[in-house]
Amino acid sequence: MLKGIHPAISPELLKILAEMGHGDELVLSDAHFPAHQLHHQVIRADGLPIATLLEAISPLFEFDQYVEAPLAMMSAVPGDTLDPAVEERYLAAIRKVNGDAPKVERVERFAFYDRAEKAYAVVVTGETAKYGNIIIKKGVTPVF
């Protein structure tokens, strides 16, 4: 355990966050996401909701300020509907730490999978919300 590091951040996730460079993306996936099919670098965070991880990651992670939307979530498949409370829960977790939250873009399901394949890593969580996956893009970390 380290001071100032949220207990939801595992040593493996902390290592991944430190290794990522600006422009790299991290997928926080729900429990149903085909992570192992899509990616070779999968971290397990079973039992944790994505909002908890976003709150834990946000103090350590600079969201990319050079893109319009450093957050991406999956669009609903035609005939389905999104629960707006899911996105709001995620943004509230980021705002709790940062005071503000970056813009979210919606991405078609298979385009989202394509981005997930190219991401730095995928974190499989215990999230059960439908369309609960989110991609976060890392920005340039300011100099202290």
List binding-site positions for substrate: 30, 109, 131-133
Active site residue 6: no
Q: Which of 6, 22, 32, 40 is catalytic?
A: 22
* Burial class, 19, CB count within 10 angstroms (exposed 0-12 / middle 13-18 / buried 19+): exposed
* Burial class, 29, CB count within 10 angstroms (exposed 0-12 / middle 13-18 / buried 19+): buried
Tell me how many degrees the CA angle 16-103-113 measures, rounded to the nearest 5: 55
Q: Work out whether strand 104-107 and strand 25-29 pair parallel, antiparallel, or are unpaired.
A: unpaired
Which residues are known binding-site members? Answer: 30, 109, 131-133
Hey, which residues are catalytic here? 22
